[in-house]
Structure formats: C-alpha cells, structure tokens
A = this chain, B = another copy of it.
Amino acid sequence: MNPLNYTDQHRERFLAELKDFLCIPSVSTQEQHRPDMQRAAKWLRDHLLAAGVPLTVIMETPGHPIVYAEWLVDPDAPTVLIYGHYDVQPPDPLELWRTEPFEPAEIGDDLFARGAADDKGQLYIHVKALEAFHETVGAPPVNIKCLFEGEEECGSPSLAPFIESHVELLAADVVVISDTHILGKETPAIIYALRGLAYVEVELTGPQHDLHSGIYGGAVHNPIHVLSELIAGLHDENGRITIPGFYDNVRELSAEERVELAKIPFDRETWLAEAAVTSDWGEEGYTVIERTSARPTLDVNGIWGGYTEPGAKTVLPSQAHAKISMRLVPDQSHERITRLITEHLQNIAPPTVTVKVQDLHGGAGAIIRRDSPEMRAAFDAYAATFGREPVFIREGGSIPVVAVFQEVLGIETIMLGFGLPDDNLHAPNEKFHIPNFYKGIETVIRFLNGVGEREGE
C-alpha cells in the first residue's frame, strides 16, 4: 500500500482525532487557558509519537511551550522543517457562534470549531501525512523537523529567540507552513508574499476620574469624542492612511506585477458574499486584490470606553481605548511604523487628553522566491491533488515567522495552505472544509515525495 491509499482508508479516524484536538480551548492570549495550552502541547506530542515520529519533545519557553519533533532518515536527503501553531484565537463574541466553539460540529462538508482552519486542522494534516509514510513505506522520503508553537495568536514573542538559539537544531533546506487559504475549493494557490503587522493599543485619558455628563458634559472634553476624531483622521477621503511617513518605504507595485495580480481569478459577487458586504471600500486607485495583499492597511480591531452594559448611564468617562493594527508591505519596518503612529497620535491629540500607545506586537512581511525546486514540488503536488494548477498570489495576512526563517536560518518558506476564504478565521463560526483536510494530507505526501525526488535529480 502507498501513503495515499492509506490516507484514503483512515479518513474517519483522522477526522475524529482532529475533533479531539479541537476540543482543547488553547487560547494563548487568555491567562485562564494556560492549563489548556499545556494540555494541547501534550496532546500534540502524544499524537506525533503515535504517528511514528521517533523524537518528539515539549520545550519550555518564557511563554507557552514549543512542540519539537524530528525524524532523520538519511543525512544526504533534504530536510523539511514543518511549522505550525496549536494555539487559537479567543472565541469572542460567543453569542454569534451557531455551534459551541470548542465542540467541533460537522455540518455538511464543513467542520465548525475555533482553530479548525487556523491552525490545528492544517497542522494536523502534516502529522497524518507522516503517519501515512510510517504505516506504509516505513519513513518519509526526506528528513523531517517539526516546530509547532503555542503563541502565534499573541505575536509569537518566544519564537524568534527560540529559533535564534537553536539554529543548528533547526537547520533545514526549506520550511513548509500550512496556515493560509487557497482561492476556492477547486482553485489551489501558492502565496509568495505576506504582509507584516504592527499592532498597538491606544489609551486616552481625559479627566482623571469618570464624571456625570449632566454636570460636566459640554465643559470637559470627552475622551471618546477625542478618540473618535483621532481614528476618523487616520484615513483621508481617498482611503489613504494619513500618518506622516507611513508610505515612505512602501515598495510600489510594478506595472508587470499589477498585470500578474489582475490575472488572479476574482469574482466580485463571490467576494462580496464571502465578506457579507454590499460594496467594497478602500484606497483609491487600487483593486480589491491589490488593497488586500500588496498595499498597507490600517484597521481598528477594537474600541471601548464609558458605559457599555444594557441601559443608560450618563457618564463622561475618564478613558477611551482602541486596538489598532496595520498590515505592512515590503519594505516597511514594523518598528518604524509603530513609532510613527505613536508619535502621530501624540502630536495630533489635543491638550485636553493624554495619549498612551502600547506596542502589542509586530512582525515583518516577506516575499518568497518562485523559482526554487521546493516551490516546483509544491506546484506539482497541488496540481496532482486538485487536478488544476495553482496560481501565485500575495497574501493579506501576516506570518511574521516567514521573515524570521529567511533572516535567521537563511531558508525560504513554502506556504502550503488548504483553508478557504470563507473559513471565518478570527471570527465566530470558524470552519475547515473537510475535503480540504484530506486533500491537504495527499498534497503534503506528494510534496514531500517531490522534494525527495527533486533533490536526488
């Protein structure tokens, strides 16, 4: 039997195991889930061992542990480093979930659960591909190293230091990550560019304590009004970001690249339906695909201040808060952008408030070579599994570790994603398209075979 047939025969058990994994609420940003993080790391270690991976360890970090695994088959064979993360986003707002976020529910061809696509389902694809090699041909065709972290959803604070202090342990020829989406059920795609991220939290303080708005309103500057003015001023009427210097280092799209991006299949109606909006919006002069992949953007991800419970309370609050993230493109530095927004907000705020800006996290973007043998192996693996050649696309999201692998280990990353655009990542009702779970395992098996063959050519 070959690994592909083995996968076919064990689909139901593989899915049942994934459901088990998804039941663990491994929310890395919330302190109360610390024991669940430990539980998820142990679960993953046990299932790597059960899949036949000979060396699997939990390595502590200052934050959540890293699960590291190694299967060295031949010193002359190439080495593939598989990266993934076993932590998930918080499930809020809970009331908008149609099923329980940590009780996986199969509805039609979809599996609903927090982490189903991001990233437990996609990570587990690799574990099952390794099992398929183990149970059929005995071992994978290349050396395997796995680096599964538990802090991706909180900015991976421990990951770069870990990679920097384990350069030899992690030495490899290529990294593969399954943590992105393709364009549609039948439209595979390979991401060759990722955006960077700068994420800050803004705290405005007006009066030192809450006031009665009937007594002080109209004579004390309300920090919610000021915060609204600051946010309203961050975009101009053409959808451009107004922070001075923000676009200074942006690598402008070449005419050639714009032509290439325009070739990506884009169905406006499908996109509007997936986003659940009636119209698009954004920076003038750019298409939706350009805006969401090749242009930097700014979004307020959260805002709060004053009384937010049911009913009326006539308070003039002391403080107002916002979480603001910016997606960055080559060659913007997230450190510089964080500095620029901090200075800008402090410069334009009126003297009636004080502004505190906290750097929540940041990461660099990346552009990946499209002419490597590993990229060719990925291309062929997708084509064989999906029956259709993948398109090359830029990705709007951020996987800062890709830049870290480039800089620290000197290796490229292949984004071997199997999600779909409507997977509701970071939102209620996250799901993973179950056929993609199986196709993912097949694609990974073909990819690893391809890398093994190509290197031997």
Contacts and interface: CB of A to CB of B under 8 A. Distances in A.
Contacts of A307: 90, 92, 301-302, 323
A171 interface: no
Contact of A218 (B197, B297, B322): B297
Interface string A182-225: 00000000000001010100000011111111111111111011
A298 to B, nearest CB: 8
Contacts of A78: none
Interface residues of A, number: 100
Given A29-B313, A197-B214, 17 more contacts: A96-B210, A153-B313, A211-B276, A212-B426, A213-B327, A214-B397, A215-B292, A217-B298, A218-B295, A218-B299, A224-B322, A225-B234, A278-B351, A301-B313, A302-B313, A303-B305, A308-B323
B292 A219 contact: yes
A233 B313 CA distance: 23
Interface stretch (A130-138, A246-254, A279-287): A279-287
A436 interface: no
Contacts of A96: 209-210, 318
A300 B217 CA distance: 10
Nearest to A350: B281
A89 B427 contact: no
Interface of A: 29-31, 89-90, 92-93, 96, 153-155, 181, 195, 197, 199, 206-222, 224-225, 227-235, 239, 275-283, 288, 291-292, 295-318, 320-323, 325, 327, 351-352, 360-361, 396-398, 421, 424-429
Contacts of A283: 218
A317 B424 CA distance: 12
Contacts of A426: 210-213, 313-315
Contact of A424 (B209, B220, B278): B209
24 contacts: A89-B313, A90-B309, A93-B210, A207-B276, A209-B427, A213-B297, A217-B298, A218-B327, A219-B281, A219-B282, A219-B288, A220-B281, A225-B231, A228-B229, A228-B231, A228-B303, A301-B314, A302-B313, A302-B315, A303-B320, A311-B360, A312-B323, A313-B323, A315-B426
B352 A300 contact: no
B213 A301 contact: yes
B276 A208 contact: yes
Contacts of A218: 239, 282-283, 291-292, 295-299, 327, 396
A311 B154 contact: yes
Contacts of A220: 275, 277, 280-282
Contacts of A275: 207, 211, 216, 219-220
A302 B90 CA distance: 23
A195 B90 CA distance: 44
Contacts of A229: 228, 231-232
A297 B217 contact: yes
Nearest 3 pairs of A and B residues by beta carbon:
A218-B297, A29-B311, A214-B397
Contacts of A232: 225, 228-229, 231-233
Given A231-B225, A283-B218, A309-B90, A428 B209 contact: yes
Nearest to A288: B219
A263 to B, nearest CB: 18
B352 A277 contact: yes
Contacts of A322: 224
